[in-house]
Structure 1
């Protein structure tokens, strides 16, 4: 193992990888697994790749066709047994990093924006916003050019809650442009 840190051998590194895989809310790519695992200064890239491959070979993790890693039942069982072997400070750093990553994953699953070309050459832009209870908004718009469709999708991703609020206010205000009723 490289550098100064709490992870001293490949077995501890495998425990760390399982700890992370057990707490991430959806399958993740190699780069993300690497970033999350580098929370300890002693983790070495080459040891990491070897341990990750070993965990897939021993069926503690799966690797999808899309290159996403996820934990198996076997991996979950072993992670629970071994997590106390990890240094408390390493677990704290992991938990902090995982909280940030999981928040990004939740946000990505709640805010969706896509476009597709119609047979007539225009584009349909689909914008959707969900929360933990379900769908808040599902909106389809027509754009005449692809660059406009991309712009609409990108702007929606930046502040979907603001757009949702503006639409609600417009629909709720009275016919003279006054404040929303209710």
Structure 2
């Protein structure tokens, strides 16, 4: 079957995978790698899946906890071969990588965990980081798993808003004008 696109064979697919993995912000799962790699019409899914497995077998990629990461060997070999990828393929990859890397960085900066307590209740721990480190951690007592999950999901959805509202409440000096009574 003839292929369209700039990727012509499994070797090209491997170069593409190494190009992507060298630029991704953190280890990624198979569906994310698939989405990033299928940026060219010439990429066959089955060849792609075989290429990923072969790159793991040869030590170019690692697979831990269902996430792929590039090794030093993969980074070196990928750098030596990336110029063989067409400019348009690299450009599409870079656009897609910018989106994925933004999501990965945000997810790394917003963390939630649910911690069981001895009395059967739970603690929802929610943390927000920036490039310098932790900027806020909140721990809240929860009576059940459903409540802890709702708090964690709410924090994941809008951590910046929660941070700003907590900061605003803490910095509010409470210097509102007292109401005057009509007595005099």
Q: TM-score, normalised on structure 2?
A: 0.90
Match of 1:154 in 2: 153
Which shifted more, 54-63 or 87-96? Answer: 54-63
SS in 2 for 1:28: coil
The residue number in structure 1 matching 2:26 is 26
Distance in 1 (alpha carbons) for counterparts of 2:124 and 2:2: 49
Contact 1:2 1:44 in 2 (8 A): no
2:124 maps to what in 1?
Answer: 125
Gaps of at least 5 residues in structure 1 are: none
How has the CA–CA distance of structure 1 residues 83 and 121 changed in structure 2, closer, same or farther, with 3 Å as cutoff?
Answer: same
Alignment: residue pair count: 177
Alpha-carbon distance, 1:104 to partner: 0.8
2:44 aligned partner: 44
Shift of 1:38: 0.2
TM-score, normalised to structure 1, is 0.91
Q: CA deviation at 1:117?
A: 2.3
2:166 is matched with which residue? 167
CA shift in 2, pair 1:88/1:108, >3 Å: same
Secondary structure at 1:129 match in 2: strand
1:135 equivalent in structure 2: 134
Distance 1:141 1:39, change over 3 A: same
How far apart are the structure 2 equivalents of 1:56 and 1:177?
64
**Alpha-carbon deviation of 1:176?**
4.0
Question: Aligned partners of 1:19, 1:67: CA distance in 2, in Å?
Answer: 20
Contiguous gaps of at least 5 residues in structure 2: 178-184
What RMSD over aligned residues (CA atoms) do the two structures have, in Å?
Answer: 1.5
Q: How far did 1:3 drift?
A: 3.5
Q: Give the whole-Å Cα distance in 1 for the aligned partners of 2:163 and 2:48.
A: 43
| Larger Rg, first or second structure (1 or 2) | 2
